[in-house]
Every structure is written in C-alpha cells, then in structure tokens.
Chain A
Amino acid sequence: MTAPEVIDCRGQRCPLPVITLARRLPELPVGALVRVLADDPAAAVDLPAWCRLRGQEFVGRVDGPDGPGFDVRRRR
C-alpha cells in the first residue's frame, strides 16, 4: 500500500485546512487517500463534517509525530 499524500495545513486557522483539502482532493483520482496535517482544534470537527457534506470518506484521525493527521479518501 502506498503512503497517502500529505497536505500540510499546520499553522492554518479554520476554515483554511478545509479549503486546502477541497482544492486538492478533486485533482486526485477517485479512491485516492490523503492525510491532512492540521493543528487547529476546529479541523477535528470540520474535516469530518466537510466529508459528510461533500460525500467523501473520512477515514480517521492519526496522531503521529507531526501532530494530528486526518485521513480522507476521495469517493466521487
């Protein structure tokens, strides 16, 4: 399995991480997985909510050495 593309949104205030994801995801093939690194506390709420509103898959949260990461898969 290939590692997901990483979108580094650390230091960005909401809604910027959501906007960055919304710009990047359509450029990737359906089925692609991305990891959004975001340390703004609102990202943990807004990234899953965006996925729900846009019909994309929120895979889960990963807390690693780079801080909180949020995995999203393009579904449509």
Chain B
Amino acid sequence: MNASPVYLDAASAAPLHPVARQALLAALDDGWADPQRLYAPARRARQLLDAAREAAAATLGVRPDELSFTPSGTAAAHSAVLGGLAGRRRAGSGLVHSAIEHSAVLHAAERHVAGGGTATSVPVNRVGRIDLDAWSTAVGAPGTALAALIAASHEVGTVQPVAAAGAVCAAAGVPLYVDAAQVVGHAPVPAGWSVLTASAHKWGGPPGVGLLVVRKGTRWESPWPMDEREAGRTPGVVNLPAVVAAAASLRAVAADAAARSARLARLVDRIRARVATEVPDVEVVGDPEDRLPHLVTFSCLYVDGEALLHALDRRGFAVSSGSSCTSSTLRPSHVLAAMGVLSHGNVRVSLHRDTTEAEVERFLTELPGIVGALRAEAGVVGL
C-alpha cells in the first residue's frame, strides 16, 4: 500500500506547530543554562522563562505567579489533585470527580483512596455530560475537600457544564480543579475554577510540558518533596527550550483559534453525519452540538477495535480507540462504559490545524469499505 499518511489523532499529540519548532531551536542555543544561577547565560535563561510564563499566563487570562510549568500534563494533573487535597486536609479528605476524568486524575484519586481518603465518582448521561444534581449532592457532602471536572471529554468531546459545576463548588466552599487539556488552544477556557491544568503537546507545543495554574487564595499545597522552582509547586528544573516553545505556540494557536475551530467543527459535523449514514450499524457518540470542535468518536458494531485500527493504519490513517483490545489493560474505556455506549469497534478521530478537507473526504470515502471488509471477514454481515 502506498496510501499517503493522514494523521487524525491530535487529541493524543498534535503535530508540532511551526512556531514551536522555531522557538525550540532558538531556545536550545539560548536557554540551556540554569535560570536560578547568577551569571550572564543564567540571566538570559531566566528572561526566557519569565517571558514564557508571562505569555502563557496572558493567553489564559491568569497572573504569571499563578502559573507553573510541569514536566507533563500528567504531572500537572497529579499535582492538581493531590495538592488540592493536601491543602484542604483540615476541611476533610473527600474528593469528588466525574466518572469520565482523564486516567491521570483517576490514578491520583486511587492514590488518595489508598492513603485513607475517599473519592466519589459522579455519573454522566448517554452523551457523556455530568449529572449536575448528583454533582451538587456529592460536592455538598460533609468533608469534601476538592472537586475535579474535565472541561471537555478527551474521548468523546462532550463539553462539561464547568460554570454551573463551579457555582455549586463556590457555594459549598470547595475548590474546583478543571482539566483543560483538550480545551486550551481550541476553545475558550471556562470560568469558575480554582486549579487548572493543560498539556502543551495537545495544542501543538512539544511533549514534556504541562501547565499547572493555582488561583490566588486557593488552599493548595505541593504534594511533592520541597523544591524552590516553579513557585514550589513542581520539583526539578524545567525543560526551558520546550517551555519556551510551548508558550510561543500557545500564543500562536490562541490567536487564530476561533477561525480554526470553526473550520474543524464543520469537518467534524461532516464526519458525524456521513459516518452515521454511510457505515451500517455504527453509533456516533458524544454530544452532537455542545462538544469540542476537533474531536469525534464512533463505535462500529461487531468490529474488533484493534483490527480496525490496523486496517486504517494500513491505509495511512492514524486514529485512536477506546476499545479494550487496544488498551494495555484490556479493559474498555471507562468513559464509554460510564456513558453506556458500545465500546468495541471504537474509533476516535481528532483533527488539527493542518487537517485538510481532502484528507477528511478520503477517510470518509474509505471507511465504509474498511469496516465492511472486516465484517465480511468475521462473518457478521447482516447480523
């Protein structure tokens, strides 16, 4: 096969933005010294770090001293959860989270529970939106220290009612942590949070840079051994060239986010409509309207998810899947399970700034035949 590659997995890692590449190369020459030291190359590194922080903070509409760079989005999420709980231990040890948080948040919750704390999972409906009544009950329970809500589902794209959930938290005096990894660079960041995290390689920055924002006045305490860097919120020297590239690319993607997202949202609309009509026995999941602009997920009945990914890969299409056979744990996606939708034969398509209409058309043209061939091979046609 000599199918040209079509990359449709931006929600895992977006291709490096040209601004990020340019900034990274410049900072490799200019930003290698330890910004803490007191000589000329260190001062230059400190200037780059300060400028990166100011640029990222300005883009997100927060104060520079509220924002720390972490070694990954996962590290930022772990810090947000465990630090938010540590800072509020006098109030209690209860964590409330949606059933569809990123696994980084759920794994931090497991650590919290293993240490004697409690965690309450708030269910979602069929399109993957939290039940606000259940959220209110859980947040209002005595001993709730922190609530965690993903801004929009990384697996199905459904946008969560962050402002309403945040109002509930504010009324109960519980800080809200929002995982905004799939929103930053794609859509406006919702209001109402006390702690926020994001991940640079989701917006076109390099991998290995996360953002942790802790609003002034929030009771948050670092869960890590003491370290003076990054306002004491995350240990270790930052990867400065990558941080510089992350901040520069964030500013660039935010500048044209509205136009890009509108274009990608139209392409996602087309995928949702065409997959539903042209592939038999398929369930397109997630909210069709109130969703991320660049992401769509569907499940093909009777099709093995791993076989589907390989078949698509052979035709040059890179996508991801929430099917159990494609995960290292052999368990289905907890997001699809919480929604009660089909988990096998699952495909997540996520678009990026370089995705063209022609690429989407080729995907839509080839998909019915690929699914049909797999069904014929498995002897499940007409079931």
A interface residue numbers (CB < 8 A to B): 13-15, 18-19, 22-23, 40-42, 44-46, 48-50, 52-53
Report chain B residues within 8 Å CB of A42. Answer: 323-324, 331-332, 343-344
Given contact pairs A19-B380, A23-B383, a sample of 15 additional A-B residue pairs in the complex whose CB atoms are under 8 Å apart: A13-B304, A14-B324, A15-B345, A19-B302, A19-B378, A41-B330, A42-B323, A45-B337, A45-B340, A45-B341, A49-B283, A50-B301, A50-B342, A53-B281, A53-B342
**Assembled-state Cα–Cα distance A49/B343 (Å):** 9
User: Beta-carbon contacts of B333-377 to A below 8 Å, as 1s and 0s?
Assistant: 000110011111100000000000000000000000000000000
**Assembled-state Cα–Cα distance A26/B294 (Å):** 40
B342 engages A22 (CB within 8 Å): no
B302 engages A14 (CB within 8 Å): no
**Assembled-state Cα–Cα distance A18/B305 (Å):** 14
B324 engages A49 (CB within 8 Å): no
Number of A-B contacts (CB under 8 A): 63
**Assembled-state Cα–Cα distance A5/B189 (Å):** 53
Min CB gap A53→B, angstroms: 7
Report chain A residues within 8 Å CB of B341. Answer: 45, 49
Grouping DSSP codes into helix (H, G, I), strand (E, B) and loop, the B interface class, with mixed when no group exceeds half, is loop
A19 engages B383 (CB within 8 Å): yes
B interface residue numbers (CB < 8 A to A): 281, 283, 301-304, 323-325, 330-332, 336-337, 340-345, 378, 380, 383
Report chain A residues within 8 Å CB of B340. Answer: 45, 48-49, 52
**Assembled-state Cα–Cα distance A48/B344 (Å):** 13
Min CB gap B379→A, angstroms: 9
What are 28 residue pairs bridging A and B, where the CB atoms are less than 8 Å apart in the complex?
A: A13-B324, A14-B323, A14-B324, A14-B343, A15-B344, A18-B344, A19-B302, A19-B380, A19-B383, A22-B302, A22-B383, A40-B324, A41-B324, A41-B330, A41-B331, A42-B332, A42-B344, A44-B337, A45-B336, A45-B340, A46-B332, A49-B283, A49-B340, A49-B341, A50-B342, A53-B281, A53-B283, A53-B301
Contact status of A46 and B383, CB under 8 A, knowing A15-B304, A19-B302, A41-B330: no
Report chain B residues within 8 Å CB of A48. Answer: 340
Report chain A residues within 8 Å CB of B380. Answer: 19, 22
Report chain A residues within 8 Å CB of B324. Answer: 13-14, 40-42
A46 engages B343 (CB within 8 Å): yes
Report chain A residues within 8 Å CB of B323. Answer: 14, 42
Report chain B residues within 8 Å CB of A46. Answer: 332, 342-344
**Assembled-state Cα–Cα distance A41/B283 (Å):** 20
| Chain A residue at smallest Cβ distance from B299 | A49
Report chain A residues within 8 Å CB of B303. Answer: 15
Report chain B residues within 8 Å CB of A13. Answer: 304, 324-325, 330
A45 engages B332 (CB within 8 Å): yes
| Chain A residue at smallest Cβ distance from B281 | A53
A45 engages B302 (CB within 8 Å): no
Report chain A residues within 8 Å CB of B337. Answer: 44-45
**Assembled-state Cα–Cα distance A69/B330 (Å):** 19
Between B283, B342, B344, B383, the greatest number of chain A beta carbons within 10 A of the residue's beta carbon is seen for: B344
| Chain B residue at smallest Cβ distance from A40 | B324
B301 engages A14 (CB within 8 Å): no
Min CB gap B177→A, angstroms: 27
Pick the contact of A49: B342, B378, B383 (CB < 8 A): B342
A14 engages B383 (CB within 8 Å): no
Report chain A residues within 8 Å CB of B342. Answer: 45-46, 49-50, 53
Contact status of A15 and B331, CB under 8 A, knowing A40-B324, A45-B340, A53-B342: no
| Chain B residue at smallest Cβ distance from A15 | B344
**Assembled-state Cα–Cα distance A49/B302 (Å):** 12
Report chain A residues within 8 Å CB of B344. Answer: 14-15, 18, 42, 46
**Assembled-state Cα–Cα distance A23/B302 (Å):** 11
**Assembled-state Cα–Cα distance A33/B43 (Å):** 75
**Assembled-state Cα–Cα distance A26/B325 (Å):** 27
**Assembled-state Cα–Cα distance A40/B281 (Å):** 22
Min CB gap A16→B, angstroms: 9
**Assembled-state Cα–Cα distance A41/B333 (Å):** 10
Report chain A residues within 8 Å CB of B301. Answer: 15, 18, 50, 53
